[in-house]
Structure 1
Amino acid sequence: MSRIRVLSYNVRYDNRHDGHDAWYARRDGVADLVRFHRPDVVAFQEPLPAQRDDLRERLPEYALLGRGRKRDDAGEGCPIGVRTDRWRAVDDGTFWLSETPAEPSTGWDAAHPRIATWARIRPREEPDGPAGPADSPLLVVNTHLDHVSARARRESARLLRERIPELAAVDGEDGDAGSADDPFDGSERVPRVLVGDFNCTAGSDPHRILTGDDPDGGAGDALRDAAAAADVRHGPRTSLTDFSRLIDNRRIDHVLVSSTVETEAFATLADRDDRGRYPSDHLPVLARLRP
């Protein structure tokens, strides 16, 4: 499989108290950043329904997958954008980070419902033949862990570690292997990429659970931190801002990959918009991967 560029970006929810950093002043800057860097996959955290509509309008080259975390599809989402000229999504879905992941719910004393959105993608065939950017599926999972409850972050990490291999081994949540459009038979796990805002830094309990450094991490395969594994690393070692300045040593946005995925480069992107401000209170992180 050839290179794939995956970008994760917490764009901050539309908060009317943000003044001159309200969403309407930032949305073009967010979209411009994505268009400039042209990732194959972009994973957003926090956008509300109207923000998701704005992103769809400004990024028509991406198919935006996912839903809101509330029962009526409202609330913040963790959508995954797939660049349609190079990739196609063959399956996708959302589950809740709770004791009842199949239904809208809040788990483990979290302040809000938390979700993970996933998509299995395949390369598009070139007009002259099947030679595309890759020849096998890739599973991408996007999440946002709770910002209040340490227990919720730990248990959510355990759930993710358990569920991701299951999603990589079957076509969909119902356990049926393969389909007419995606004949993957489930006999091997496809390469996996987990991205998102973990609300914790490398070395914290949730990070250690997901990367296998915690002996009590639970079932499932351990992942690797792309930032640590990268051959080339670029940008600040934080991913938090106050829109005008960086907040030091707070890289809470992560890209984790399965053992077969090579990380060629990892960057924290400190692009400013045309106002001279950061388009969000998070910096996006970008990984160049070779599954």
Structure 2
Amino acid sequence: MKDLKAKTAIVTGAASGIGSGIAQTLAEAGMNVALLDIQERALDDLRRQIETRGGKAIAVTADVSDAQAVAAAARRAEEAFGRIHVAVNNAGVAMHGTPLEEIALGDWDWVIGVNIFGVIHGIRTFVPMIRKHGEGGHVVNTASIGGLQMRPGWNTGAYSMTKYAVVALSEALEQELAGSGIGVSVLCPASVRTAIYDSAKNRPARLGGPFRREQQHFLKDTIADGLTPLQVGERVLRAIRDDEFFVFTHSEPRQLIEARHRRIMEAFDRIAEIEREERTC
């Protein structure tokens, strides 16, 4: 999708981190931007920042784990700017540092609600809105490099499970939208300087309210030298314009992903050998 000027994007998780970087980059590219997030004050600060630079934006407080809230936010965006062409399902929370068997059920509800259902609600709401005007568009779903491999020792099982799901949802969506003029990208960032380690402070009251997950604050040091959110925003902008599916931020994780795929291929080799042995019996 090359021509973005004066078209409208809707970005979830826009108040901070990668979402903020994507929203600012799309605004700089001339798009109207509907900013969605649960963090009302930070969201309004970003809106003013974009407007100060000459861009157009609205701020809509919404919890992406709530389907009705997402639908209402989309209507606000359409009322403000008209047709939506780009949807960025970016909102996400961390769930690092705790073994699977020790994660409370409420925390499972929260991480699945935001990281998986947030994307599902975005697809169900935004894709029909893009389809109906027939002008084409693009959907970006934020997964993680953790959606393609498991980092040993980090206890990221719950988080990575949700991001594997986002990759699968994105692959399915790309297949379903083939020929429609609507492109799909899945963003799989590695180290980015955000406050994702402190995302528990934004847990909504209906899922238990804000808290502090000390187990995942080790992330603060591991991402301190990462890319800035604006650098990731530029990478996403390029992917939208060039219709790229997988969007990476770093080349270093390639070895981890190749190791995982080798393990899969070795398993296929084993079953192929078993099948050959069975045929000769």
Q: Higher helix fraction: Structure 1 or Structure 2?
A: 2
Q: Compute the TM-score of the two structures, normalised by the length of structure 1.
A: 0.35
Q: Higher strand fraction: Structure 1 or Structure 2?
A: 1
Q: Compute the TM-score of the two structures, normalised by the length of structure 2.
A: 0.36
Greater Rg over alpha carbons, structure: 2
